[in-house]
Amino acid sequence: MVGAITRTPLQNDDTILLPERIGDLTGLDAYGTGGELLAIFLAAFLIGNLMLAMTGVAGPWAKRKITAAFTDRIAVNRLGPAGILIIVADSVRLLSKELIIPENADRPAYDLAPIVIASSALLGFAVIPMGSGIHLADPEVGLAYVFAVAGIASIGLVMAGYASSNKYSMLGGLRAVAQNVAYEIPLVVTGMSVVIFAGSLQMSTIVEAQAATFDLGIVSIPAWYALVNPFAFVLFLVANFAEVGRNPFDTPEAPTEIVAGYQTEYSSVYFVLIYLGEFLHIFLGGAIIATIFLGGPAGPGPAELGIVWFLIKIWAVFLLTQWLRSAVPRVRIDQLIEIGWKGLLVLSFANLVLTAVIVGLIA
Amino acid sequence: MIGLLKSMATTMKHALDGSTFTVEYPETAPDVSPRFRGVHKFSQERCIWCRQCENVCPNDTIQIVMDDQRNGEQYNLHIGQCIYCRLCEEVCPVDAILLTQNFEFTADTKHDFVYNKEQLKAVPWYKDIDPLESREPDRSAWIGEGEGDVDYQ
Amino acid sequence: MSSGLERTRPVETTEDDLEALLGDRALARDDHLNAPGFVIRPDDVQDVLSDLRDEAGFDHLSCLTAQQYEDRYESIYHMKKYADPTQEVSIVVPTTTDDPVSESAAPVFRTADWHEREAFDLVGIDYEGHPDPRRILLPETWQGHPLSLDYDQEKPQLVTLSEHANPIQPDHHDAESDTMFLNIGPHHPATHGVLHVKTVLDGETVVDVDPDVGYLHRCEEQMCQQGTYRHQIMPYPDRWDYVSAGLLNEWAYARAAEDLADIEVPEYAQIIRTMGAELCRIASHMLALGTFCLDVYGDFTAVFQYAFRDREVVQDILEDLTGQRLMFNYFRLGGVAWDLPEPREEFIAKTRDFLDELPAKVDEYNDMVTSNEIFQVRCIDTGVLEPEVAKDYGCTGPVARGSGVDYDIRRDDPYGYYSELDWDVITDDGCDNYSRVLCRMREVEESAKIIEQCLDLLEDWPEDEREIQANVPRTLKPDADTEVYRAVEGAKGELGIYIRSDGTDKPGRFKIRSPCYHNLSALGEMTQGEYIPDLIASLGSLDIVLGEVDR
């Protein structure tokens, strides 16, 4: 029995964003626009570094540990406690490698691609409310903005694929663009169903809207959209994995088929950037899922713990990608496109229409 | 879909049970079986310089130099080229050449792998196992005559 | 005795039938130990071979051996029947030394294509009418034919990249067409060794595939020709199919050489051989499963690691038995090198433990792999190899059995102790990548059955009758000009050895019939019109080992 939905009042206007808080704390507010700008940069710097630190932990250490657990092996355990210092060693190793650039590479594009891939994901975190007051900006079109900047990454992939002057890279680039076009639409359309529920594109509003609870007699569960509309949640998860190119949809890289796809010709720093970009995209995907389906920073305990819950949710999505990686074969590129256009697209529109009807009826 | 979930459940089961099948080498030195064939050990005291090992070696890994009185001077063995077939140990009538269980050997260049008789003598036993005890070389087959003419080679 | 081991065999083609069929075309007889041999004229090859196939049912061109004598070149076509490989015939085609031209058999049997290229490459016989008369194992620019008598073995040769094979030159693009040329390999994550697949793509669709082999050619045949029968050849078979199928390979040589020298192997040794060989088969099939999943899953993921973990157990058992994990050198002519390790009970218990745990592990693989829907979507109806095509290419082993060709030398041409044991030959009619995987997994279970029975026999064998080697002379010198071709069921299929003795203690000609070589030649047929991922999966499902392809 689903009881009455209690809604807490929307408090968007009261939301204090991170730059303002920093401005307050450091007294930068007093210096007018310049001070505000500096506060904004500081806030962006903090959030960017938080995310980069997470990828640093994920790439050289956590991913190896997780994969090893799934495959019954012992992994990185030599440097530092539980091998955590491998992060330092790996950074030095990767950055000190020789940067090899193919002779026929299309230079500006070849050099820009890794930066585009990495930065597009970082930009997305700007509008994500991470709890504990860590929220950089809260534009009214927040969700649209996230999808837009995350979509820039496909341009980076195509640039990398075409500029490398390598046939495997080109195949990878072609696959990446086909895959992104096919899955961007279901992704956005499924995201729209959440917008219909929440009635807003603003991230903070979407989070607030999930703060309500269902009363199920004894226990009350939060009205997260993953629980309100699990169908949309699954659709979004699948489309998200395809969008960030994770198993079973990692066809643009497809190591056994096309060597490493668009990143075949990248080495050293450029490779690190692409690698960082990939992890950032997984985390951004996790952040979007957490925000629009899992109640953002909501969780038991005081509101100050918001960031902890938020990071746990992101890492849960990351763990899921690794779990799938251990057990699920890669689909073929034509099957992938077929699933995208014939399956997910139709289902996501059906989901959208149904949501609209239901929300209309309740209203 | 059921199969997909089943395979995911299987890997998760393995992740959670915490068992591993790899070991931390070199902290945990692996046990090798008593019959394992590793680097050779040579005993000049036992050797009678019959050159059977040199003869039987399939790829000329063993090289013996004798002086004009047919006394042994050098016994060289290229452990990097050796295919570890154990035929030399099998033909040796006096157990002068043995294959220890020692599989840990490194060198900077492949030339360092050409061992002379002193180096061969210095090869350590692996975990103090003397392979002869477990191998009980059965030489009856080697001195068998078959049905044809006896061949003293 | 097994119910699964009886098969209906076709009516035997007697020598009289063959003589009648060949008529005047048979110039003389040149019988081999294993089969009647007929000498024919070099321009009758297609005629004779197609008659043998269509009218006498010899549908399996098992092997082609080429060799040079002082006065002539000779090509020997070893023919068999898929329905009954004990019915064999050898067609001997001599050509003159001055002008070694022989008619090509490639239009009749497609497997002759690669074989004749190899014969041209190594021995130097020209095959008239061959569709693609290039070298195959050696580089295009190689001078001379290494197995011909006038070849200077001492002279080193520098191999340069021939112009058109230079991968840096961007000249593969044909301005008229929309296709793209892609080099898959020699260094590629999924070629299972150094294999170079020249691929022509139309988008992602494979238009043409040309496997370029020979990167791992180590002159194994020549090395065997320079070793003595008694000792020096046996270590080499381990290095053909080097991924744990060693004992199966050793058996191929042992069987041929024992037939040649007329050596009787004691029953006890045969049981140990059978057990060891089946352990190798399990290890080899585990590896095949793991690497195939690696190709399909795309990462070093769980299935690969689990397959390796289970293979490791087999390797440990084999290490206890033979003293080595891969390069066993355990068989000897007339038996095996050692009895079971002491204490016997411990070894037997260890092996039994492995067998007891195997069903649970196979269930796990079924949970993870074969019942996984995405795996099924990827593998069913991809890499289709029709049975007739498989026969045409001389495919054997799990590749043929996965195409419904009921052919297993262990049952059809029994050796060792197989005919006394209860087991089944696995076939599957799917003809696709999925059925090849299924075949291998079910063969693992059959092998486990065989090992179980061998262990029972070994356990109860009276202590004073444990004879592990026959009394074999220290030097073997089979009579000059005795020829034999014998095959065993290796991990990948029919592994055959042809030996011609020349009266010395070393073979005059040693020829290896590699199953992987034949299976790989069918790759083009299997993958035309499919996508790159299917090409990779099909290559994985063939389970080739380049060491055996290139020898």
- What are the pLDDT digits (tens) for A120-162? 888 888 888 887 777 877 888 888 888 888 888 888 888 888 8
**Using one digit for the tens of pLDDT, what is the confidence trace for A82-107?**
888 888 898 898 889 888 888 888 88
% of chain C beyond a pLDDT of 70: 96
| Domains, in order of start, for chain C | 15-128 (3.30.460.80), 220-550 (1.10.645.10)
Contacts of B36 in chain C (CB under 8 A): 319, 323-324
State residue C165's pLDDT score. Answer: 54
Tokens of C60: 């399996």
**Residue of chain A minimizing CA distance to C181:** A167
State residue B152's pLDDT score. Answer: 39
**DSSP-based three-state secondary structure for C75:** strand
Q: Per the structure, how many domains does chain B have?
A: 1
Find where tokens 């040769």 sit: C157
Instruction: Name C68's bridge partners.
Output: C73
Question: Does C333 have pLDDT greater than 70?
Answer: yes
Question: Could A74 and B19 be called an inter-chain contact, meaning their C-beta atoms sit closer than 8 Å?
Answer: no
Neighbours of chain C (3+ CB pairs under 8 A): A, B
State residue C175's pLDDT score. Answer: 61
Question: Does C135 have pLDDT greater than 60?
Answer: yes
Averaged pLDDT for residues C336-350: 85
Whether chain C has a CB inside 8 Å of the CB on A326: the answer is yes
% of chain A beyond a pLDDT of 90: 0
Averaged pLDDT for residues A342-354: 89
State residue C497's pLDDT score. Answer: 92
Name the more confident of C412 and B144: C412
What is d(CA B51, CA B82) in angstroms, rounded to the nearest whole number?
Answer: 17
Inter-chain Cβ pairs, chain A and chain B, closer than 8 A = 39
What is d(CA C27, CA C48) in angstroms, rounded to the nearest whole number?
Answer: 12
> In a mutagenesis test of the A interface, which of B7, B20, B21 is the best target, namely the one with the most A β-carbons within 10 Å?
B20
> In a mutagenesis test of the C interface, which of B35, B99, B135 is the best target, namely the one with the most C β-carbons within 10 Å?
B35
For the ranges A9-18, A253-262, C264-273, C278-287, the lowest mean pLDDT is seen at A9-18
Question: Does C169 have pLDDT greater than 70?
Answer: no
Tokens of C220: 């194994």
Question: Does C403 have pLDDT greater than 70?
Answer: yes
Note whether residue B137 is domain-resident. Answer: no
Question: Could C342 and B146 be called an inter-chain contact, meaning their C-beta atoms sit closer than 8 Å?
Answer: no
Question: Could C532 and A328 be called an inter-chain contact, meaning their C-beta atoms sit closer than 8 Å?
Answer: no
> In a mutagenesis test of the B interface, which of A326, A328, A330, A339 is the best target, namely the one with the most B β-carbons within 10 Å?
A326
Angle at the Cα of B45 from the Cα atoms of B44 and B49, rounded to 5 degrees? 55
State residue A167's pLDDT score. Answer: 84
State residue A217's pLDDT score. Answer: 67
Q: Count of CB atoms within 10 A of residue C371's CB?
A: 15
Single-letter amino acid, residue A262? Y
Note whether residue B91 is domain-resident. Answer: yes
Whether chain C has a CB inside 8 Å of the CB on A300: the answer is no
Tokens of A128: 């994500």
Contact C145, C123 (CB under 8 A): yes
Cβ within 8 Å of B, A 65-84: 66, 68-74, 77
State residue A122's pLDDT score. Answer: 87
**Helix (H) and strand (E) counts in chain A:** 15, 2
For the ranges A237-246, A286-295, C163-172, the lowest mean pLDDT is seen at C163-172
For the ranges A45-49, C398-402, C469-473, the lowest mean pLDDT is seen at C469-473
Cα distance from B3 to chain A (closest Cα, Å)?
Answer: 10
Question: Does A5 have pLDDT greater than 50?
Answer: no
Question: Does C190 have pLDDT greater than 60?
Answer: yes
Averaged pLDDT for residues A223-227: 77
**Residue of chain A minimizing CA distance to C187:** A259
Contacts of C295 in chain A (CB under 8 A): 256
**Residue of chain B minimizing CA distance to A68:** B15
Which of B33, B59, B86 comes nearest C319 by C-beta? B33
Cα distance from A7 to chain B (closest Cα, Å)?
Answer: 36
Whether chain B has a CB inside 8 Å of the CB on A4: the answer is no
Note whether residue B77 is domain-resident. Answer: yes
State residue A298's pLDDT score. Answer: 77
State residue C99's pLDDT score. Answer: 83
Note whether residue B139 is domain-resident. Answer: no
Question: Could B33 and C320 be called an inter-chain contact, meaning their C-beta atoms sit closer than 8 Å?
Answer: yes
**Using one digit for the tens of pLDDT, what is the confidence trace for C490-513?**
888 889 999 988 888 888 889 999
Question: Could B11 and C471 be called an inter-chain contact, meaning their C-beta atoms sit closer than 8 Å?
Answer: no
What is d(CA C129, CA C106) in angstroms, rounded to the nearest whole number?
Answer: 8
Measure the N-to-C terminal CA separation of chain C; round to a whole number of Å.
37
Say what the ipTM of the complex is.
0.83
Question: Does C21 have pLDDT greater than 80?
Answer: no
Note whether residue B145 is domain-resident. Answer: no
- Whole-number CA gyration radius for chain A: 21
What is d(CA C96, CA C125) in angstroms, rounded to the nearest whole number?
Answer: 10
Averaged pLDDT for residues A9-28: 66
Residues 6+ apart with CB under 8 A from C158: none
Cβ within 8 Å of B, C 311-340: 312, 316, 319-324, 327, 329, 332, 334-335, 337-338
**What pTM does this model have?**
0.86
Neighbours of chain B (3+ CB pairs under 8 A): A, C
State residue A333's pLDDT score. Answer: 85
Question: Does A344 have pLDDT greater than 50?
Answer: yes
State residue A6's pLDDT score. Answer: 42
Residue A15 confidence class, pLDDT cut points 50, 70, 90: low
Tokens of A247: 């198993």
Contact C258, C478 (CB under 8 A): no
What is d(CA C331, CA C466) in angstroms, rounded to the nearest whole number?
Answer: 16
Whether chain B has a CB inside 8 Å of the CB on A328: the answer is yes
Contacts of A330 in chain C (CB under 8 A): 296-298, 374, 378, 533
Residues of chain B with pLDDT under 70: 133-153
Residue A11 confidence class, pLDDT cut points 50, 70, 90: very low
How are beta strands C205-212 and C196-202 bridged, if at all?
A: antiparallel
Averaged pLDDT for residues C275-296: 89
Contacts of B145 in chain C (CB under 8 A): 471, 473-474
For the ranges A199-203, C150-154, C296-300, the lowest mean pLDDT is seen at C296-300
* Phi (first) and psi of residue C136, to 5 degrees: -125, -45
Whether chain B has a CB inside 8 Å of the CB on A100: the answer is no
* Phi (first) and psi of residue C434, to 5 degrees: -65, -45
State residue B135's pLDDT score. Answer: 66
Question: Does C128 have pLDDT greater than 50?
Answer: yes
Contact C304, C293 (CB under 8 A): yes
State residue C3's pLDDT score. Answer: 45
Name the more confident of A250 and B134: A250
**Residue of chain B minimizing CA distance to A329:** B4
Range of the domain at B118: 33-131
- Whole-number CA gyration radius for chain C: 23
Which of C302, C342, C472 comes nearest B11 by C-beta? C302
Q: Where are the beta strands (DSSP E) in C261-328?
A: none
Question: Could A257 and C293 be called an inter-chain contact, meaning their C-beta atoms sit closer than 8 Å?
Answer: no
What is d(CA C153, CA B62) in angstroms, rounded to the nearest whole number?
Answer: 22
Cα distance from B136 to chain C (closest Cα, Å)?
Answer: 9
State residue C363's pLDDT score. Answer: 87
**DSSP-based three-state secondary structure for A338:** helix
